[in-house]
Chain A
Amino acid sequence: MGEVYLNSKFLGTVENCEEFTSRIREDRRKGSITSNLNVFYYEKADEVHIESSKGRARRPLIIVRECRSMLTERHLKQLEKNEISWSDLLNQGVIEYLDAAEEENALVAFFEKDLTIEHTHLEITPLSMLGLCSSLVPYSNFNQSTRLNAGSKNQKQALGLYASNFAVRMDMDVNILHTPQKPIVQTIMHDISNYKMHPAGQNMVVAIMSYKGYNMEDAIVLNQGSIERGMGRSTYYRPSIAEELRYSGGLVDEVSIPDKDVKGYKTEKDYRFLEEDGIIYPEATVKEGDVIIGKTSPPRFLSSLEEYDLAAGTRRESSVTVKHGEKGVVDFILITENEEGNKLIQARIRDERIPETGDKFTSRHGQKGIVGLIVPESDIPFSASGIKPDLIFSPHGIPSRMTISHLIELLAGKVGALSGRYINGTTFDAEPEEKLRKELLSLGFRENGVETLYNGETGEQMQAKIFIGNMYYLKLKHLVANKLHSRARGPIQLLTRQPTEGRAKEGGLRLGEMEKDTFVAHGASLLLKERFDSDKTIVPVCENCGIIAIKDEFKNKSYCPVCGENVEVTDIEISYAFKLILDEFKSLCIYPKLQLESKY
């Protein structure tokens, strides 16, 4: 006597639970009850749980009966001829979906040859344990699992063709790779996901060797000749957006070339690209500070009546300019309306990004690296047949990470490139390495993939044989051009008078608490003071009451707000932040009295 639950609600009891569950399963396979139902017999409690609720994760498996897979050769042939489809297999009781609970009652075999009498299901393919991105890694069953994770993560950041209608889209911060290629070493997932229509990388000739230390610590060395031929080239798109906002009192922004009497007018040169409508023309080459969309806004605060009359004359400049550190060519302009009916203008700027030192590249095996050096093609090592690597990868990245698939892909890529075919590198179902080696040997190369290379500068033969072959490399979206930043002088914050933070605001690079400690540890007291005087100010202090006094620059007179004029006022140099904390103390009714003393 067992209890039966439907979606966790008690339904009733049955005499024989096992018979009951198997009857439900039979009916489901026959199609007499819905296939969206899962049943789970919990032996220990003698309970049957039937689930039909939404939100369960389910996965398809081939049904096995008495050691025989229900998916027969006949089915496969029919599938190939397109006579039957997936849903037919479901209806015929060949395939069924199990949820997490029902899986507990099932015994699933990985391969058909492993089937025993106890098995209830057969895996469609062992690859189904991986997700989309992970199954795009060839030979991944030869890897440490962490590297597979890293490899699939990196693929998500690769530059490629993210949308085929990118030319008419206004996406923020996107890249398009110029000449993407299909990988030579593929997995079945490349076919399933139609990868060839939106590839995200290029096949490169990779040599595993060190190059003058410029590829140490995961760096890579690129061949300048390859770059000049277009390898790794991409375009960066970023739209600038301007809206004609409406303000209270019927005032609106206006997109136009600003008048010269507008508050905050830049120079005439900055507006030179604008056409009469105040918008830049396409294909204009712009650089930092150039105006893209000319715009004026009404004055910020309208307090007195007089200002209403003068409103037109005192409009503010609020143009959209090319941001600090950016450049490019105006690509596409869009004029439309936003949800509130305000005029909306977007101007997309494109910038060609040629690989440079600091750009990030990766193979599909979690072997990411940054370009450490770009070498002229004439100095690149070459093989007897004249092959020069596009990319030089450091051998030190291999032993500790144990990415065997990286090495196998290199070998497989070489075979594929030489024999002119694509190599199947599907996880658990790849072309065996043994076969690849034999084929490479028959192609006239050493079966282990190494070749004699010659020093590109001296022509000397290298003592070691170099492992060289073809690999699919991806350019990642972390480009130095978007990250490089430095500052000497620049903008400061209004409240604290300290430098702003972050690249976008042309900010300073903070010398933090721990960095400060190192200065103290070295006893570099005066250097420390100099590093921290970004917000230094001269403040007049009343010697009588010790409170910050007032300096009247017009009358050239200093006086104390408390003690009046007949008192000694001395100028001292402190950080503005300290002046602020003194003010804050005063607001807390704490009297911060400064007692001055001669330094000498």
Chain B
Amino acid sequence: MSIYNEYKTKLTPKIIEDIQDYLKDKKVNDAKLRKILDKVVEEYEQARVHAGESVGVIAAESIGEPGTQMTLNTFHFAGVAEMNVTLGLPRIIEILDGRKKIKTPMMEIYLKKPYSAGKNVKEIALSIKETKLEEISTEFSINLVESAITVALDKIKIKELRITLAQIVTVVSKQLKGFSVKASKDGSSIILKSRSQEESLNEVYKAKEKIKDTHITGVKGISQVLPVKREEEFVIITAGSNLTDILQLAEVDNFRTTTNDIFEIQEILGIEAARQAIVDEVFKVIENQGLNVDVRHIMLVADTMCVSGFTKGITRFGVVSEKASVLARASFETPIKHIISAALIGEVDKLDSVVENVMLNQPVPIGTGLPGLVTKIKKKEEK
């Protein structure tokens, strides 16, 4: 144990852990262990990025170059029928720009043991799907004399969803104030009557339109569900995303369930999860296109997007606005805005990054331009 502690400063905890795991039931004496660890340290130092390596530019080039090929492929959408997923370059742009509202939010819901094998999958999926009043009714009609709305219901659909008439009545009456809600005698429809007799037709019409959107069952925001078998296991894929509500369901395996909405992940699971989500999502798209980019490039991008504790896009409002140098910020979009605001507060540019030094024609502090000469200049002794 003590030997491992000696190496704590030289190796990462993960590597030490791995070595420990590997050597657990092997007989290694102290001298040998020391030798092994020294070798690992050597390898580790070799594998590390050297000082002055321009990792950022290399990451940008490594992602950007395959990106040019992606534009040529117009293969941007995929999926079954109405389940469209943004793929390809538009999706990458969406992630890296840090868009709050993504085009096609999507969830992958994994299930706990008995359900993941296929038990009640269809029912669970259906219960997740958001159902609006409009979908379970066949007709909305207005009775002008009584200023009442009659909603004819689709009995088959109601049966499928396993809801009772009473449930519908309570949900609708909560939504709509000023109306009394009753089920009709034969149970085929619900009748909404205005409490005040003098309701104008316009008001009634507005109410009719409003109740169409009434949320009846399911999870809000999930517009479509699709149970899929994925390697001996059933997974529910949804269009629309609502991580908060889904994770609270008893059947859901909340360790593996994900969404493609990075901001939702950040809000619920934290910034580290969001960083991982960015890496996974970008990598998924690149892999999907049959391209090959090392994850570490994407990890670097995700790191810069998340360092501040919030997800920031690579835009002039996000990551670029954090740059220390005025000139560097000005060289990327809206230069005048940046220069004027810098002038107002008397900003000082230390010229310690790349772009500024290119502008001034000075060596850039990277690679061969990084090391400086440290020496004491001897003053001539007065004789």
Binding site for B on A (CB under 8 A): 516-518, 520-529, 532-533, 535-536, 573-575, 577-578, 581, 585, 588, 590-591, 595, 600
Contacts and interface: CB of A to CB of B under 8 A. Distances in A.
A532 B52 CA distance: 21
Contact of B362 (A529, A590, A595): A529
A245 B372 CA distance: 61
A525 B361 contact: no
A523 B368 CA distance: 6
B61 A525 contact: no
Contacts of B366: 520, 523, 525
B339 A578 contact: no
Contacts of A525: 363-370
B360 A526 contact: no
Contact of A575 (B54, B360, B368, B372): B360
Contact of A585 (B339, B369, B372): B339
Interface of B: 52-54, 57-58, 60-61, 339-340, 343, 348, 354, 358-370, 372-373, 375, 377
A103 to B, nearest CB: 33
Nearest to A525: B369
B360 A578 contact: yes
B361 A517 contact: no
Contacts of B354: 520
Main SS class of interface, B:
loop
23 contacts: A518-B61, A521-B54, A521-B57, A522-B367, A523-B54, A523-B370, A525-B366, A526-B363, A526-B369, A528-B358, A528-B363, A528-B364, A529-B361, A529-B369, A574-B362, A575-B359, A575-B360, A578-B359, A578-B360, A585-B339, A585-B343, A591-B343, A600-B377
Main SS class of interface, A:
helix
Contacts of B57: 517, 520-521
Contacts of B60: 517
Contacts of A574: 360-362
Q: Which 5 A-B pairs have the closest CB atoms?
A: A523-B367, A525-B369, A575-B361, A590-B343, A521-B57
Contact of B61 (A521, A573, A581, A595): A521
Contacts of A529: 361-364, 369
B184 to A, nearest CB: 46
Nearest to A592: B343
Given A528-B369, A536-B361, A575-B360, 15 more contacts: A517-B57, A521-B61, A523-B53, A523-B54, A523-B367, A523-B370, A525-B368, A528-B358, A529-B362, A533-B361, A535-B361, A585-B339, A590-B339, A600-B372, A600-B375
Contact of B340 (A526, A590, A591): A590
B368 A526 contact: yes
A219 to B, nearest CB: 25
Contacts of B373: 600
A595 B349 CA distance: 10
A374 B367 CA distance: 45
Contacts of B61: 517-518, 521
Given A520-B57, A521-B61, A532 B367 contact: no
A89 B373 CA distance: 95
Contact of B358 (A516, A523, A595): A516
